[in-house]
Amino acid sequence: MDQFNSHPLYRKHDLDSVMTTLWLFYKNHFPALFLAAFAGSLAIQFLTSTIDISKITGMTDPFEIMAQFKTWLWPIIGVIVISFLLSLTLQYFVIFKPVNSEVNIFNSIYKSLWYLLPYIVIGIIFVFFMAIAMIAGLIVFIIGILFSVLYVFMISLFILPLLMAEGNNIGNALGRTFTLSHRHFGSNLGWTAIIMLIIIVGSIILSSVVLIPFSGNFFKILTDPSEAAEAMSFMSNPWYIILSALANSLFAPLTPILGAILYFNARAREEDAGKPAEVNSDQNRVTVGDLYPGNPENK
C-alpha cells in the first residue's frame, strides 16, 4: 500500500478537495480516459441499437416475449461484458497510472483482467444485496428507494479500488468494502450524491443536445405514442450512435475517479487514526530551573 502514498488522490478529503482533485485528475488524464470511454460507449451504443423494444410492446403472451428476448441474448451479454471491461480498464488506469509510469490505457485493458472474476462474483452478490435494499426501500416509498440505490451505489464504488490496491481476495474485499464505506458514512454518501447529481444533470443536458438533429422523430413519440416504433428508428442511425457515445464518454471516467477518491480518503483516515499521538518534546524537557523549586520561573 506504501506505493499509493504518493497518489494525487490519496489524502484526507473534504467536499472542496473532492471536487478539486476530481477535476484536476480528470483534466490531466483526459485524452486517455476519454478515448477508452468512447471506445467502450460506442460498442455499447451499437449493441443497444440492435435491441428493438417496440417488438414486445404489443405482446401479451409471456412465452412469446421470452422467445423475443432470446433473440437479444447475445447483444445483452455483449453490453454486460463491455461494461465490466470498461469499468475495470478505467479503474486500473486511475489507480496505477500516477504511481507507475509504465501504465497506459492500452496495457490497463489486459492487466485489469486479473480482477475480472472476483469483480463478477462480488457484483452478483451485490445484485442480491441491492434487491434486498430496494425491497426495504419500498416500505418508505420513493425516498426509501432513492436512498437504497444511492447507498448500494456508494458502497459499490469501493470494490474495484480495494481489489486493485489490497489484492483480489473476495472475502477480504467484501469485509473491507463495508468497513471503509461505513466510516465517515455521511460524508461518503453526501459526496456520492453530489457527484452523481452532477453526472445525471450533465448527461440529461448532453442527451438533449444530441437529440436536436433527431427532434422531429423524438417529438413524434411524445405527441403520438402509436408511432413510437417508426419514430425510434433514429436509435439505429450511425450519427446518433456516435454522438451518444461521445456524450457518454465525457462523464464515464468520473465514476472510477470518485471511487478512488472515496477509497483513498478512507485509507488515509484509517492510517492517520492508527498513528500514535505526537508528544511535544518541549513539554517533557527538563531545564535547570526545574531543579530549584524556589525559582520564580516555576511559579
> Are 190 and 213 in contact, with CB atoms under 8 Å apart?
no
Amino acid, res. 158: F
> Whole-angstrom Cα distance, residue 147 to residue 135?
12
Residues 228-268 have pLDDT tens digits of 555 566 777 888 889 999 999 999 999 999 999 999 999 99
Residues 68-125 have pLDDT tens digits of 788 888 888 999 999 999 999 999 999 999 999 999 999 999 999 999 999 988 888 8
Grid cell digits, residue 177: 468494502
Q: List Cβ neighbours of 247 (8 Å cut-off, separation of 6 or more).
A: 203, 206, 207, 209, 210
Q: Three-class SS of residue 105? A: coil
The residue ranges of every structural domain in the chain are 2-274
> Whole-angstrom Cα distance, residue 103 to residue 131?
37
> Are 124 and 155 in contact, with CB atoms under 8 Å apart?
no
**Among 55-64, 185-194, 221-230, 263-272, where is mean pLDDT lowest?**
221-230
Amino acid, res. 17: S
Question: Residue 204, exposed/middle/buried by CB under 10 A (0-12, 13-18, 19+)?
Answer: exposed
Residues 159-197 have pLDDT tens digits of 999 999 998 888 888 889 989 998 889 999 999 999 999
Amino acid, res. 234: F
Percentage of the chain exceeding pLDDT 90: 46
> Whole-angstrom Cα distance, residue 125 to residue 246?
32
Residue-level pLDDT at 278: 47
> Whole-angstrom Cα distance, residue 283 to residue 250?
55
Q: Three-class SS of residue 275? A: coil
Amino acid, res. 43: A
> Whole-angstrom Cα distance, residue 73 to residue 52?
13
Instruction: Report residue 44's pLDDT band, with 50, 70 and 90 as the boundaries.
Output: very high
CA nearest 266: which of 197, 153, 176, 194?
176
